C-alpha cells in the first residue's frame, strides 16, 4: 500500500426506507463505475419532509478509491 494515491469523492444516496439503505445505494451505485473502492464515510444524514411526514432519507457519503493512471 506504500506509494498509493487515493481519490475522495462525495455522493448523496437516497432511500424511502432508511439512512442505511441511502448510504448503501450511494456506495453500490458508485461501485458500478468505479474500481478499487476503499473507504466510505458518512458525513451527514438528513431527510426530506412532505406534508409533515418523512418522504425520504439521504446520506452524504465520502468515498475513496485507489487512483490509477
**Number of domains the chain is built from:** 1
Reply yes or no on whether the pLDDT at 1 is more than 60: no
Q: Is 10 a member of any domain? A: yes
Q: What is the pLDDT of residues 5-37, one digit of tens each?
A: 899 999 999 999 999 999 999 999 999 999 999
Contacts of 23 (CB under 8 A, 6+ apart): 13, 40, 42, 59, 61
Confidence of residue 4 (pLDDT cuts 50, 70, 90): confident
Q: Is 48 a member of any domain? A: yes
pLDDT value for 45: 98
The CATH number that applies at residue 55 is 3.30.1660.10
Amino acid at each position: 500500500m506504500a506509494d498509493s494515491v487515493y481519490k475522495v469523492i462525495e455522493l448523496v444516496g437516497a432511500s424511502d426506507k432508511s439512512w442505511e439503505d441511502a448510504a448503501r445505494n450511494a456506495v453500490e451505485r458508485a461501485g458500478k463505475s468505479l474500481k478499487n473502492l476503499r473507504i466510505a464515510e458518512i458525513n451527514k444524514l438528513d431527510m426530506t419532509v412532505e406534508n409533515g411526514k418523512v418522504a425520504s432519507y439521504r446520506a452524504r457519503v465520502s468515498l475513496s478509491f485507489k487512483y490509477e493512471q
